[in-house]
C-alpha cells in the first residue's frame, strides 16, 4: 500500500518512471489526467471546492443552506424524514407552493405533486442553484406544482440509519454497502409512497437527473406495475443506463483500474467525497495517496464545454458540491462501463451464483418497462450520459416516450445551463400531460 502511494508521488514529481512495471499505465493516466484537470478547471476553480474564491458568485447562495435560500426568496418550505424498509433515514425537502404563498395557502390548493431526484455526489440543492427564474424547482413551484426534493441515502442530508453509524469503524462498511441498486429497491418506493400519503394523491410526477434516473429506470424494470400505478409522468434529464461511450474521467479511471477501488477500501474508506471532504482525515489520506481521484471529483461536473453553463451559478453550485456518495455506487457505474451492460452489481463469480443464480450479474431488463409516459432530454456535450448512450436508452424506452430531444448541453447543464430553453419544452409537455 505504502509503496503504491510512493509511486504516485514519484510520478507526480515527474521523476522516477522506470521500474514502475505494471503500474506504468496508471502513472501515465495520472499525469495526463492531472494536467487536463488543471487546464480545464483553472480559471474558475482554484483549490478544491472553495466556492468563495471562484470568479462569479454575485450573492451568498453558495454559502447558504437550502431552507435559507427558499426563505429569503419568499418560498414556502418544509423538511420531512422518510424511513426506508432497510432503515435508512432520508431527508425530503418540500416547496409546496409559489413565491409569496404561505405553506397553508399552498397546501390547501392540493396542487399536483412532483418528486425531484438529484444525481451522484449531488443533493437537493442542485435544483435551486440557478437564477430564481431558471432553477427547475422554483420554475415548477411557480407553475403550480407541489415540489418534493429527495436526498439520496448517504448524501449530506441523508447520512443516517436507525442502527448503523456511517462513521463508526465497525459499522461504516455495512452502512455504505449500497449503490443505486438499493436506492431503486428502497429509497424510490419510500419517497414516492411517503409523498402520496402526505398529499393524498394517487399519482405524482417524477423528474430525475443522472444517477437519479438510473434508480428510476431500475425500479421500473423491477416492478413496472408498481411504477405505473403511482407515477403519471417521468422526466429523465441526462438519463444514465449504459455507459459504453462514457468519457467522464472519474468513472473511466476507476473502470480502468479496479485496483484503485480495492486500495481505497483497504484504507477503510467507503464514503466518497463527503461535503467536508477536504477537511476530513480519511480524504486527506486519499488525496495524498491518489491525488488523481480528488482532482477527478471536480471533473465529474467540470470536464465539458463550460461555455454551455452559466458560470456565475456554477460557482454557486460548487459551494454545495460534492455531497458524498458510496464508493460502491462509483464501483457499480465503473462495472457497467467496463462490461458494456446495464447490469446488477458484480460480486464475482462465486457470490453472483449465490445471489443471482448465475456467474454473470443479470442485466436490468428494459422490456419490462411499458405503458409509461417518459420525457427524455439529453445533451450533445455530455461526457457521462453521451448522445450515443442516450440513443440506446431511447431505443429501449420506445413507446414509453412522449418526448425525446437532444440539446446542445453538458451533464450539469440540465440544472445550470446558460440557455435553459430545454426546460420550457419540458414544462410544455408536462402541462399537456397534467395529473391530479
Ligand atoms: C437556446 O437553445 C434553443 C434550443 O436548443 C435554441 O433554439 C436557441 O437558439 C438558443 N438560444 C441562444 C441565445 O443560444
Which of the following is catalytic: 11, 123, 210, 326?
Answer: 210
429: left (phi over 0), alpha (psi -120 to 50) or beta: alpha
Which residue's CA lies nearest to atom 5 of ligand 1?
407
Sequence-distant (6+) residues with CB within 8 A of 89 are 81, 82, 83, 158, 160, 161, 162
Whether 132 and 73 have beta carbons less than 8 Å apart is answered as yes
Domain that holds residue 245: 38-364+384-436
382 catalytic per annotation: yes
Q: Express each pLDDT in 142-191 by its tens digit.
A: 999 999 999 999 999 999 999 999 999 999 999 999 999 999 999 999 99
CA distances from 384 to 116, 184, 335 (A): 20, 20, 14
**Angle in degrees, CA 126, 130, 135, rounded to 5:** 80
Closest CA to 412 of 147, 126, 43, 57: 126
- Residue 43 belongs to a domain with what CATH number? 3.40.50.1820
Residue 406 Cα to ligand 1 midpoint, Å, equals 12
Does any domain span residue 428?
yes
pTM of the model: 0.87
Is 293 inside any structural domain?
yes
Domain count for the chain, please give it.
1
The one catalytic residue in 382, 389, 390, 413 is 382
390 CA from centroid of ligand 1 (Å)? 21
Query: Is residue 1, in this structure, part of any structural domain at all?
Result: no
In a domain, 11, yes or no: no
Active site residue 411: yes
Instruction: Quick: pLDDT tens for 62-106.
Output: 889 999 999 999 999 999 999 999 999 999 999 999 999 999 999
Q: Is residue 17 part of a domain?
A: no
Please report whether residue 281 resides in a domain: yes
Which residue CA neighbors atom 14 of ligand 1 most closely? 419
**18 lies in a domain?**
no
Q: What is the pLDDT of residue 91?
A: 98
380 lines ligand 1 (CB under 6 A): no
* Residue 419 CA to ligand 1 centre (angstroms): 6
User: Does residue 20 fall inside a structural domain?
Assistant: no
Whether 318 shows a pLDDT value over 90: the answer reads no
Query: pLDDT tens across 23-76, in order?
Result: 333 333 333 333 333 333 333 333 444 444 455 567 888 889 999 999 999 999
Q: Is 407 in the pocket of ligand 1 (CB under 6 A)?
A: yes
What integer best gives the mean pLDDT of the chain?
A: 85
Strand partners, 405: 377
Amino acid at each position: 500500500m505504502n509503496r503504491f502511494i510512493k509511486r504516485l508521488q514519484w510520478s507526480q514529481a515527474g521523476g522516477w518512471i522506470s521500474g514502475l512495471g505494471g503500474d506504468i499505465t496508471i502513472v501515465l493516466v495520472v499525469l495526463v489526467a492531472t494536467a487536463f484537470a488543471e487546464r480545464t478547471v483553472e480559471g474558475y476553480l482554484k483549490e478544491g471546492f472553495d466556492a468563495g474564491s471562484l470568479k462569479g458568485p454575485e450573492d451568498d447562495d453558495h454559502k447558504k443552506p437550502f431552507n435559507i435560500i427558499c426563505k429569503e426568496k419568499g418560498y414556502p418550505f418544509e423538511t420531512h424524514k422518510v424511513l426506508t424498509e432497510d432503515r435508512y433515514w432520508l431527508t425530503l425537502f418540500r416547496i409546496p407552493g409559489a413565491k409569496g404563498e404561505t405553506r397553508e395557502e399552498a397546501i390547501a390548493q392540493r396542487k399536483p405533486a412532483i418528486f425531484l431526484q438529484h444525481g451522484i455526489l449531488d443533493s437537493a440543492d442542485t435544483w435551486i442553484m440557478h437564477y430564481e427564474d431558471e432553477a427547475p424547482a422554483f420554475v415548477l413551484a411557480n407553475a403550480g406544482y407541489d415540489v418534493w426534493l429527495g436526498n439520496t441515502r448517504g448524501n449530506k442530508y441523508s447520512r443516517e440509519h436507525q442502527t448503523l453509524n456511517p462513521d463508526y469503524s465497525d459499522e461504516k462498511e455495512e452502512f455504505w454497502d449500497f449503490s443505486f441498486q438499493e436506492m431503486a429497491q428502497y429509497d424510490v418506493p419510500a419517497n414516492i409512497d411517503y409523498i402520496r400519503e402526505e398529499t393524498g394523491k394517487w399519482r405524482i410526477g417524477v423528474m430525475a437527473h443522472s444517477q437519479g434516473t438510473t434508480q428510476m429506470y431500475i425500479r421500473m424494470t423491477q416492478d413496472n406495475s408498481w411504477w405505473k400505478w403511482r407515477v403519471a409522468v417521468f422526466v429523465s434529464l441526462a438519463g444514465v443506463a449504459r455507459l459504453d461511450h462514457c468519457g467522464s474521467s472519474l468513472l473511466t479511471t476507476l473502470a480502468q483500474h479496479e485496483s484503485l477501488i480495492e486500495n481505497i477500501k483497504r484504507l477503510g474508506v467507503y464514503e466518497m467525497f463527503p461535503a467536508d471532504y477536504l477537511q476530513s482525515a480519511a480524504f486527506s489520506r486519499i488525496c495524498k495517496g491518489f491525488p488523481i481521484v480528488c482532482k477527478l471529483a471536480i471533473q465529474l461536473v467540470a470536464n465539458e464545454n463550460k461555455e454551455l453553463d452559466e458560470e456565475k451559478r456554477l460557482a454557486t453550485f460548487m459551494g454545495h458540491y460534492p455531497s458524498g456518495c458510496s464508493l460502491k455506487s462509483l464501483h457499480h457505474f465503473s462495472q457497467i462501463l467496463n462490461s458494456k451492460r446495464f447490469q446488477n452489481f458484480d460480486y464475482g463469480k462465486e457470490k453472483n451464483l449465490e445471489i443471482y443464480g448465475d456467474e454473470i450479474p443479470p442485466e436490468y431488463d428494459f422490456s419490462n418497462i411499458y405503458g409509461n409516459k417518459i420525457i427524455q432530454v439529453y445533451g450533445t456535450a455530455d461526457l457521462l450520459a453521451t448522445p450515443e448512450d442516450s440513443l440506446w436508452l431511447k431505443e429501449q424506452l420506445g413507446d414509453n416516450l412522449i418526448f425525446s430531444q437532444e440539446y446542445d448541453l453538458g451533464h450539469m447543464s440540465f440544472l445550470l445551463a446558460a440557455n435553459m430553453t430545454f426546460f420550457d419544452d419540458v414544462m410544455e409537455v408536462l402541462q399537456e400531460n397534467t395529473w391530479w
